[in-house]
Chain A
């Protein structure tokens, strides 16, 4: 997973007009920008921030689903969930590596996360309260992530776009797996179906918020689109997600928790699409600013792992140094 509409990116840049024009010509020609290429400072800063937020989201995203690994209901589900959460860790690893090509280290990015300065996708500040949440996250959260990320496979920055191609394949597998969990629950006992509906009720709106603020309130979208870091606006992606997801919910026999949701034949240039009710942006900003149910717990868990692992990392370094010294002494 999981880029959320980028928050707080600052694309301001101070290069000469000639430099910026030359850069823009490369972008417009769909050339990939590679790590050693000249690039505007604002482009670099926007990417560092976006890739960093994305990497942190993968890592923090391991926690809510990790919460059910030890309680997965069958051995097959246990193995699949463990593999999925492991994939998310792998995504974090590729993305940190992609960000490192822009001159920022994983350690620095981790410090920012642990200090509470770096953002990650707010969806992970909601708790997983039942097994159905594992289905709902795969279906909706990985599903929303795919909508966000497929265009990123064509992002102008080479290392990011290549990381995304690899990641998107795994995300679509996660999405199908999550949907299949929901389908099994919906065809199960009434209690299981109620569990699935409850999960949809809790995850639907936060999933829509994953695409970020409405375009009219999204300050930095325009520059990111011009640089082809972003290819679609937040609202365009959100609409695609809703249009794809509503029929899937119908197939499950579940109700989307939005009384204003209606098919509108005039939407999407006459191809039709769904109108939806208002998104509670107060809630969104409250959670982004650290006041969701799980914000503190998520950071505390990351800090605990980091602090309790310090002796291991130090020992590995110390041992490597000693080995080198011993090898040199033996020569």
Chain B
């Protein structure tokens, strides 16, 4: 039980950190100042949630590891994040669509956890994250509509973004053995149970944006087993550089 709770928390923490890190790459480079601030806010939310989840995982594990040990001292095969969140930022449209797909899952997921988790610590993390995700969902959903509907160029770019990212979305609903066990124990919501709400939210926004979800003959799945694309390793090499170069130092 403890091992599985630890594993399930790490999966969620990795999703949040990896996506938060990706968003933080925009800082200083966004299409307009207001979005620079907004993307930094989203990144801060996700990094904050990741920290809470890693800390809880470390506590559950009880081996004296810290949030930073978990974030900085695991290699890519040990990272358990979804493939969707590690995708490179691409253009602003890709970043926004990736955020929208993620938030359309996490908002209902955290809301369900806040209401129904048997673990009070998870309810607390989830309550905060659910509120944040409601904002991410609104912000990214509005942008998907704006960009899908805006100009010929923005529409073309959003079609390309849907094409590039949609086949990573099935993985949102896949439960690892740890996630399955935690759902069975009432600690975390069942991922598959978010499907109807996700379909509704995504269907509505894509329709309003004049975009269509493509058929996905072969969904990309593997992050929960540490089977990533090639980009994650580079991201971790950058992120972990100081901890790796100066082992044991305090920062």
Contact = CB atoms under 8 A, between A and B. Distances in A.
Interface of A: 59, 62-63, 66, 69-79, 82-83, 85-86, 89-90, 92-93, 96, 131, 184-185, 188-189, 191-192, 301, 304-305, 308-319, 322
Contacts of A59: 33
A86 B249 CA distance: 27
Contacts, number: 143
Nearest to B241: A71
A263 B95 CA distance: 55
B243 A78 contact: no
Contact of A311 (B25, B27, B157): B157
B247 to A, nearest CB: 10
- Closest CB pairs A-B (n = 4): A309-B31, A315-B150, A315-B154, A73-B251
A307 B30 CA distance: 10
Interface stretch (B38-46, B112-120, B171-179, B188-196): B38-46
Contacts of A71: 238-239, 241-242
A85 B147 CA distance: 27
Interface of B: 17, 21, 24-25, 27-37, 40-41, 43-44, 47-48, 50-51, 54, 67-68, 71-72, 91-93, 145-147, 149-151, 153-154, 157, 235, 238-239, 241-243, 246, 249-251
A147 to B, nearest CB: 25
Contacts of A188: 249-251
B37 A86 contact: yes
Contacts of B145: 319
Name, among A73, A79, A131, A305, the residue most crowded by chain B CB atoms within 10 Å (CB to CB).
A73
11 contacts: A62-B36, A73-B251, A75-B71, A85-B40, A89-B28, A89-B37, A185-B251, A305-B29, A309-B92, A312-B93, A319-B150
A77 B71 CA distance: 13
Contacts of A316: 146, 150
B207 to A, nearest CB: 15
A35 B105 CA distance: 48
Nearest to B238: A70
A89 B91 contact: no
B47 A78 contact: yes
B150 A75 contact: no
Contacts of A62: 27-28, 36
Given A305-B29, A315-B147, A316-B146, A73 B44 contact: no
B242 A73 contact: yes
Contacts of A82: 24, 27, 40, 43-44, 47
Given A74-B251, A189-B249, A311-B157, A89 B36 contact: yes
Given A85-B28, A312-B147, 6 more contacts: A66-B28, A70-B238, A79-B47, A305-B31, A309-B35, A316-B150
A314 B150 contact: yes
Given A75-B50, A89-B40, A188-B250, A66 B151 contact: no
B33 to A, nearest CB: 6
A121 to B, nearest CB: 15
Nearest to B155: A315
Contacts of B67: 75
A304 B44 CA distance: 24
A189 B251 CA distance: 10
A311 B153 contact: yes
B30 A322 contact: no
Contacts of A189: 246, 249
B251 A305 contact: no
Contacts of A304: 29
Name, among A93, A301, A308, A316, the residue most crowded by chain B CB atoms within 10 Å (CB to CB).
A316
Contacts of B31: 305, 308-310, 312-313
Contacts of B149: 315, 318-319, 322
B28 A74 contact: no
Contacts of A83: 40, 44
B24 A70 contact: yes
Nearest to B43: A82
A174 to B, nearest CB: 15
Given A75-B50, A184-B250, A184-B251, A305 B239 contact: no
Nearest to A77: B251
Contacts of B242: 71-73, 131
A24 to B, nearest CB: 36
